[in-house]
Each structure stands twice: as C-alpha cells, then as structure tokens.
C-alpha cells in the first residue's frame, strides 16, 4: 500500500507543478514557465514508470482521477495563456514587418555617383 501512496504523492507533485506553471502563465513569466515545464516533464516520466511498476488500486484510483482532472484544467488554462501570447507575438511581428516595409518605401534612393555601381568591390 505504501508504494501506491507514493504514486499518488507523485500525482500531487504534478499538480503542484501545474499550479506553478499556471501562475507563471498568468503573470506572463515565460522563462520560468518553460523551466517549470521541463521539470514537470521529468516528473511525469517518473510517474508513468512508477505507475507501470506499482499500479493504482481502489480508492487511490478515485484520488488519481481527481488529481488528473485538476491537472488537466490547469493545462487548459496554461494553453489558453500560451495561445494568447502567440497571438500577441504574431501581431507584434506584423507591426514590425509593416514598419520595415514603410521604411523601405519612404527611404530615399541613393544617387549613383562617379565610381558607384551599386555592387561590391
């Protein structure tokens, strides 16, 4: 039984990490979100291997299902924040492209003077 309890403790750790990742996403702290996600993936692999070896029985299945539901809700929130950030970055890229195009359109042409052929020497 103690080994099955350790599987549940691993799921609880995943939940805590998901909560931290959601908070980083809410704050727009993308660096810490990525770092925490890396730790989360390592822990997830550990949980997967542990669960394969030990399994989960009885009441622990219900507890695991509850933890997984909470984790998935947080994952959905994180995904929503990431999609909003992606859209924001897309808009910033579009603005930057337009500024570059405007700069090119209104940049004065350089006159070709003596010895200037526009090529490399």
Q: Where are the domains of the chain?
A: 2-104
Surface-to-core class of residue 40, CB atoms within 10 Å of its CB (0-12 exposed, 13-18 middle, 19+ buried): buried
The CATH classification of domain 2-104, taken from the options 3.90.226.10, 3.40.50.300, 3.30.43.10, 1.20.58.380: 1.20.58.380
Q: What is the pTM of this model?
A: 0.75
The per-residue pLDDT for 112 is 62
Phi, psi of 114 (to 5 degrees): -60, 130
Measured distance CA(46)–CA(120) in Å, rounded: 59
Spell out a b/e string for 53-70, using b for 16 or more CB atoms within 10 Å of the CB, else e.
Answer: eeebeeebeebbeebeeb
Per-residue pLDDT of the chain (121 residues; tens, 9 = 90+): 447 678 888 899 999 999 999 999 999 999 999 999 999 999 999 888 888 887 777 678 889 999 999 999 999 999 999 999 999 999 999 999 999 888 888 877 766 666 555 555 5
The per-residue pLDDT for 53 is 83
What contacts 69, CB < 8 A, 6 or more positions away?
none
């Amino acid at each position: 039984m103690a080994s099955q309890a350790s599987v549940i403790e691993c799921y609880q750790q995943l939940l805590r990490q998901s909560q931290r990742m959601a908070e980083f996403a809410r704050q727009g702290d993308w660096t810490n979100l990525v770092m925490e996600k890396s730790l989360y993936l390592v822990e997830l692999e550990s949980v997967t291997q542990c669960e394969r070896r030990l399994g989960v029985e009885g009441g622990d299945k219900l507890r695991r299902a509850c933890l997984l539901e909470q984790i998935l809700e947080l994952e959905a929130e994180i995904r929503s924040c990431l999609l909003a950030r992606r859209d924001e970055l897309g808009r910033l890229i579009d603005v930057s492209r337009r500024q570059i195009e405007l700069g090119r359109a209104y940049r004065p042409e350089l006159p070709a003077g003596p010895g200037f052929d526009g090529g490399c020497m």
